[in-house]
Structure 1
Amino acid sequence: MNLSTIYNFSKAIILTTLLSVSLSFSLKAQTKVYNLATYGIIPNSGKNSTPILWDLLKKIKAQTANNESVVIKFQKGRYDFYPVGAAVRTYYISNHDQDNPKIVGIALEKFKNLTVEGNGADLMFHGRMLPIALVEGNNVKLKNLSIDFESPQIAQIKVIENDTINGHIVFETAPWVKYMIKDSVFYNTGEGWQMQPTSGIAFESATKHIIFNSGDIRVGTKGVTEISPGKIKSYHWKNNNLIPGTVIAMRSWSRPAPGIFAHKGKNISLKNVKVHYAEGMGLLAQLTENIYMDGFGVCLRGKNDPRYFTTQADATHFSGCKGEIISKNGLYEGMMDDAINIHGTYLKLVKKIDSKTVIGRYMHSQSYGFDWGYENDSVQFIQSKTMELWDAKNRISSIVPIQANENDPIKEFRIEFTKELSAEIDPSKLDIGIENLTWTPSVVFTGNTIRNNRARGALFSTPKPVLVARNLFDHTSGCAILLCGDSNGWYETGACRDVEIRDNRFVNALTSMYQFTNAVISIYPEIPDLKNQKKYFHSGIRIQYNKFETFDRPILYAKSVNGLMFKDNKITTNKEYPAFHFNKKPISFNRLIGTEIGNNKVDGKLTDLLAN
């Protein structure tokens, strides 16, 4: 090796070493760590953490360059968050009450590469708040923390006497419930709020299962007197099912805010995050790309938790999202609606301005105020009465909100498409919905437990691939899985094209009747004029290797499907409850083609389920 070669080789080593050292320092400089205790946010202090953390978040945001990552660390313990000093925001949140402003406990807005490490932090909120908002974030992670409220808007009571002849019930409130009685009316009260419960969900005291065949019950909050503190007599409440010992979650239908709100985000990760209560849903994500949940829970605080309920509505809900939605190893229990619901939103085509331009309108009272689509998004059109799609798809060339004032919530859009619409797409002749195909996600829902909740288990409405595998559906009071679609009432899209449901265990689902609950697995698009439908709505559904443990008959119901497989499933019957469902067939179809049914066993014997 000559001197020139040695010199060049040595130079290369030095440069490589310097580059490595420089890169090492650069990488270290790109991550900033904030230990909250350093800034006076101390666990178990009882102090209001809201204003201190909000001020710190603003400083962190101002001090962070685009290439830097941020880690915010809690210590283990309880942190109290009060409305005083909180961020105040106008957020229009899908499938929630559109009342504004929202009081936000932790506003994480426009952060990139942010990790919030809880280390077992128990975040306790007070009053009516939106605990955590993840708005326009990219690569944001929440880890190892829980969300709860000191005073839930659900009043838990226990029946201690039931005079079924005279229609009198005596109940006692749970120790944490605060209330007042005014003009013989019971009001649940909390920090800055009061409400009269109008409905209830009744639970078995020992198992926390919802009472068989009860559904939503009327609660006796009018015509009451206090016998002693916490002990109340209701003089006009008659329900023979409410035996002494029954626990009831008394509630209203309000859902002002979720526990976690994700809006216009990308690459959002929730690991070992638990929501123990929220007055809306546990997690609501909209217009967000890629959401990863591992060990996420909307759940009680373990088997000894004296509460029987969690959230006022769905555990998780995804509206107009895209990319991937992954939920694995989760626990969803005690919520007042579904474990997961994934859909888009149909706009109603209300006016055709010309061959390329229309006006589309949000129709549901809980879904408006946010973007629906963007330039170059792919769309398709559907006839609302028959739920038949036009084959031709189109793209948005421009979309502009129609607002009288810039602060008005968005309810209508002027949309121009790249290609001319066919003459058939005419809102003066048909009710027509517009579906955004770009903002539809693929789904992986695996290894989760769903139990003791109201309404249904899992709802999916997306044309992208859906995998539902190795989950336990345990005493969901409605159907366990629903594939839906509706351009008439909820206006929630859309047709499923590739769904695999396998290796799940279903234990005594369908103990009460709710909307769309025709069987344990219910494929039930809302089609007002099915008899005139010529095409099919759903397709590509495969249901295999599942175990059904059931006290009743209906296992699978399907409507308007092209291509459905139900094979290699095992059904075991039991006597836990009496059979009661109106549907007496294990499998029942309404307008299907391309079915493949076989090798299914009932109590160990191969059985032709269609013949039963």
Structure 2
Amino acid sequence: MHNWLKNNITVIFLAFISFQAQANPSPKAYDLAKYGIHPNTGKNSSPTINQAIQKVVAEAGKNTPIIIKFKKGRYDFHAEGALQKVYYISNHDQDNPKTVGIALEQYQNITIDGQGSDFIFHGRMLPISLVENNNLTLKNIHIDFERPQICQVKILENDVAAGIITYQTAPWVTYTIQDSTFYNTGEGWEMRPTAGIAFEEKTKHIVYNSSDIAVGTTHVSEISKGIIRAYKWKNPKLIPGTIVAMRSWHRPNPGIFVHKGKDIHLENIRIHYAEGMGLLAQLTDNIYLNKFQVALRSKNDPRYFTAQADATHFSGCKGVIVSNNGLYENMMDDAINIHGTYLKVIQKLDNKTILARYMHEQSYGFDWGYTGDSVQFIQSKTMELWDHKNHIQSIEVLRKKDSDPIQDFKIVFTNPLDEYIDPTQLDIGIENLTWTPKVTFKNNTVRNNRARGALFSTPQTTVVENNLFDHTSGTAILLCGDSNGWYETGTCRDITIRNNTFINALTNMFQFTNAVISIYPEIPDLKNQKKYFHSGIKIENNDFYTFDKPVLYAKSVDGIIFNNNKIKTNTQYPAFHWNKKEILFERVINAQINNNTINGKPLMYPYH
């Protein structure tokens, strides 16, 4: 090669590198301390932090890549001076407005780095909202509340014969007793717990075969400060030393709310308490969780609970959902739940037009679909899908005034509808297929939580691998689908569950807990179902450690593989489950069950 050619190539290459560097400049870092935001002051940060972030973005220029850093320490947030926002949040109480600590809205190319700071919230608040952001990263933040709405108590005495239990409130709990009724109190709120979850004192496992329990908050008296006697609380399983998380079913706010985002990254975030989900993301395209935790502060944390509901929950998202290296423990519901939402068809106006509605009271108020989206219909009673798909030509929100929540839609489709799609004859749901995500759930730990471990309801490729499910209380993995109650879509078509470890699931009975892995769509009329709901399920190379029988339950599946799994039994708890079979199928075809062992010996299936 001639020298002049070499030299010209070198010049062109260097010019290209220089152009790339100018086109993708390194983000400029901003220290919030220079804007008057300092940790460990005890002052209310609610009125100041949002203003400081807005000032930084304005100085940098909108959409300029920037990193905003907090000096490590504690920042306190109170309701006074906080933002008031109208947010309709899937699977939460639709009470508005929400009191928001930090609201990041319509930002691009921005990173918020807490550098390990504690964000401590007071009262009833939504800690952080991320709304309509593009390429946003939130990292190195601990979210907690000074006084959680879950009331923790320790059983001191239990006179089972008399039905009298004496308990002690945890040191951080404040309360009042009115007309012999116990109320948990905090900054700006008061509530009477109506249910509870009991934990073993030493292990922090949920007490075996206890599930949701009644709690002694009526007919009580105060014996001394923090010592309460309940005169009509009878439960022989609450031995002295048992810790009870007394709670209500209220779930107003997640710890982090993500709405209509694109390329959202949550890194090394730790949520220690939220009065709803730890994280709720909806209508978001690509969301990545790395070292995301809904967890206790440490093994020595005096608390036994974290979130009031799911650790993470994703509703109507698309692109990819990735959870790597997470820790989800002691929450009051599932570690992860991924689904869309069926609308119910209310009226068919013509062969291309319908009226449809969000049905569940906690699942409305936000967009459902857009022009061009792919959809399909389902018969709710048999959960059978119509073969043909369609596309949205137009979608119109129907409401009396703009301030009303979004609940009803007029939808026009590009192609004529099947004549049997007739809501006067059948209950019919409609699913948006465009807003369904691919999923990776990898290297996570799920433990000591109420209800279930992980729920997946998406037709896109889903991989669940190298996770530890340790004492999940109910089913460890659930594949569901429901067009009758919560109206949560939908079918799984390509899911791989491999190289996971399951330790003593099913110590308690909750919904859909038919086995360690439970494939359980809600089908009111299974006997008349002709098609199958789920398909493409592969369960391979997993280790099951269990004290009871059921390992795999499946209903309405065409195509399931259960190969090379190892089951080892123990006697940590007495077996009690109604299901006495390792594998139990209802309406399942094309199953492959090979090379599985139980205590080192071949697992025989089918049974003879």
Fold match by TM threshold 0.5: yes
For the residues of structure 1 that align with 2:400 and 2:56, how far apart are their CA atoms? 37
Shift in Å, 1:43: 1.4
Shift in Å, 1:183: 0.7
TM-score using structure 1 length: 0.96
- Alignment of 1:464 with 2:463, yes or no, is no
SS in 2 for 1:531: helix
Output one character per residue of 1:506-565: Cα deviation in whole Å (capped at 9) or x when no partner. Answer: 000011111111111000000011111100000000111111111111111100000011
Shift in Å, 1:255: 0.3
For the residues of structure 1 that align with 2:560 and 2:23, how far apart are their CA atoms? 55
Output one character per residue of 1:372-405: Cα deviation in whole Å (capped at 9) or x when no partner. Answer: 0000000000000000000010000100100101
Output one character per residue of 1:477-514: Cα deviation in whole Å (capped at 9) or x when no partner. Answer: 11000000000011000000001111111000011111
- Alignment of 1:299 with 2:276, yes or no, is no
- Alignment of 1:349 with 2:315, yes or no, is no
For the residues of structure 2 that align with 1:328 and 1:246, how far apart are their CA atoms? 33
Q: Which piece of structure 1 moves more, 139-148 or 63-72?
A: 63-72
Q: Which amino acid aligns with 1:331?
A: L
- The ranges of structure 1 where at least 4 consecutive aligned residues each deviate by more than 6 angstroms after the TM superposition are 8-23
- Alignment of 1:82 with 2:78, yes or no, is yes
Would the aligned equivalents of 1:327 and 1:445 in 2 still touch at CA under 8 Å?
A: yes
- Alignment of 1:369 with 2:329, yes or no, is no
Please point out which of 170, 195, 200 is paired with 1:199: 195
- Alignment of 1:429 with 2:431, yes or no, is no
Please point out which of 600, 604, 607 is paired with 2:603: 607
Structure 1's unaligned 5+ residue stretches are none
For the residues of structure 1 that align with 2:590 and 2:11, how far apart are their CA atoms? 68
Q: Which residue of 2 aligns with 1:126?
A: 122
For the residues of structure 2 that align with 1:363 and 1:317, how far apart are their CA atoms? 19
Query: Superposed, which structure 2 residues align to 1:33-432 within 5 Å?
Result: 33-432=29-428
Alpha-carbon distance change, 484 to 193 in structure 1, aligned in 2, over 3 angstroms: same
For the residues of structure 2 that align with 1:441 and 1:12, how far apart are their CA atoms? 43
Would the aligned equivalents of 1:54 and 1:86 in 2 still touch at CA under 8 Å?
A: no
For the residues of structure 2 that align with 1:563 and 1:12, how far apart are their CA atoms? 56
Q: Which piece of structure 1 moves more, 601-610 or 182-191?
A: 601-610
Output one character per residue of 1:394-452: Cα deviation in whole Å (capped at 9) or x when no partner. Answer: 00010010010110001100000000001100101100000000000011001100000
Would the aligned equivalents of 2:476 and 2:516 in 1 still touch at CA under 8 Å?
A: yes
Output one character per residue of 1:309-365: Cα deviation in whole Å (capped at 9) or x when no partner. Answer: 000000000000001100011000000000000000000000001110101100001
Output one character per residue of 1:231-261: Cα deviation in whole Å (capped at 9) or x when no partner. Answer: 0100010000000000000000000010000
For the residues of structure 2 that align with 1:523 and 1:26, how far apart are their CA atoms? 49
Q: Which piece of structure 1 moves more, 19-28 or 163-172?
A: 19-28
Would the aligned equivalents of 2:63 and 2:107 in 1 still touch at CA under 8 Å?
A: no
Output one character per residue of 1:84-141: Cα deviation in whole Å (capped at 9) or x when no partner. Answer: 2211100000000000000110100001011011111111111111101000001110
Would the aligned equivalents of 1:456 and 1:481 in 2 still touch at CA under 8 Å?
A: yes
For the residues of structure 2 that align with 1:39 and 1:485, how far apart are their CA atoms? 49
Output one character per residue of 1:450-489: Cα deviation in whole Å (capped at 9) or x when no partner. Answer: 0000000000000001111110000011100000000001
For the residues of structure 2 that align with 1:383 and 1:590, how far apart are their CA atoms? 19
Q: Which amino acid aligns with 1:573?
A: T
SS in 2 for 1:218: coil
Q: Which amino acid aligns with 1:75?
A: K
Alpha-carbon distance change, 430 to 23 in structure 1, aligned in 2, over 3 angstroms: closer
Output one character per residue of 1:169-203: Cα deviation in whole Å (capped at 9) or x when no partner. Answer: 00000000011111110000000101000000000
SS in 2 for 1:217: coil
Alpha-carbon distance change, 264 to 234 in structure 1, aligned in 2, over 3 angstroms: same
SS in 1 for 2:153: strand
SS in 2 for 1:169: strand
For the aligned residue pairs, the C-alpha RMSD in angstroms reads 1.9
Q: Which amino acid aligns with 1:155?
A: C
SS in 1 for 2:571: coil
For the residues of structure 2 that align with 1:595 and 1:518, how far apart are their CA atoms? 18
Would the aligned equivalents of 1:586 and 1:610 in 2 still touch at CA under 8 Å?
A: no
Please point out which of 532, 538, 546 is paired with 2:534: 538
For the residues of structure 1 that align with 2:23 and 2:475, how far apart are their CA atoms? 54
For the residues of structure 2 that align with 1:340 and 1:441, how far apart are their CA atoms? 14
Q: Which residue of 1 aligns with 2:451?
A: 455
Alpha-carbon distance change, 26 to 492 in structure 1, aligned in 2, over 3 angstroms: closer
Alpha-carbon distance change, 247 to 22 in structure 1, aligned in 2, over 3 angstroms: same
Query: Superposed, which structure 2 residues align to 1:546-557 within 5 Å?
Result: 546-557=542-553
SS in 1 for 2:586: strand
Would the aligned equivalents of 1:588 and 1:610 in 2 still touch at CA under 8 Å?
A: no
Q: Which residue of 2 aligns with 1:528?
A: 524
- Alignment of 1:473 with 2:469, yes or no, is yes
For the residues of structure 2 that align with 1:435 and 1:500, how far apart are their CA atoms? 23
For the residues of structure 2 that align with 1:307 and 1:214, how far apart are their CA atoms? 19
For the residues of structure 1 that align with 2:48 and 2:76, how far apart are their CA atoms? 11
Shift in Å, 1:52: 1.1
Alpha-carbon distance change, 239 to 374 in structure 1, aligned in 2, over 3 angstroms: same
Please point out which of 477, 499, 504 is paired with 1:503: 499
SS in 2 for 1:353: strand
Q: Which amino acid aligns with 1:172?
A: Q
SS in 2 for 1:268: strand
Q: Which amino acid aligns with 1:418?
A: T
SS in 2 for 1:119: strand
The aligned length equals 608
Would the aligned equivalents of 2:262 and 2:286 in 1 still touch at CA under 8 Å?
A: yes
Alpha-carbon distance change, 20 to 382 in structure 1, aligned in 2, over 3 angstroms: closer
SS in 2 for 1:610: coil
Q: Which residue of 2 aligns with 1:595?
A: 591
For the residues of structure 1 that align with 2:466 and 2:20, how far apart are their CA atoms? 44
For the residues of structure 1 that align with 2:391 and 2:21, how far apart are their CA atoms? 46
Q: Which amino acid aligns with 1:53?
A: I
Would the aligned equivalents of 1:271 and 1:296 in 2 still touch at CA under 8 Å?
A: yes
Output one character per residue of 1:43-84: Cα deviation in whole Å (capped at 9) or x when no partner. Answer: 111111111111112323444435511211012211111112
For the residues of structure 2 that align with 1:10 and 1:518, how far apart are their CA atoms? 71
User: How much identity, in percent, do the aligned residues show?
Assistant: 64
TM-score using structure 2 length: 0.97
Structure 2's unaligned 5+ residue stretches are none
- Alignment of 1:494 with 2:490, yes or no, is yes
Q: Which residue of 1 aligns with 2:480?
A: 484
For the residues of structure 2 that align with 1:210 and 1:14, how far apart are their CA atoms? 67
Would the aligned equivalents of 2:65 and 2:108 in 1 still touch at CA under 8 Å?
A: yes
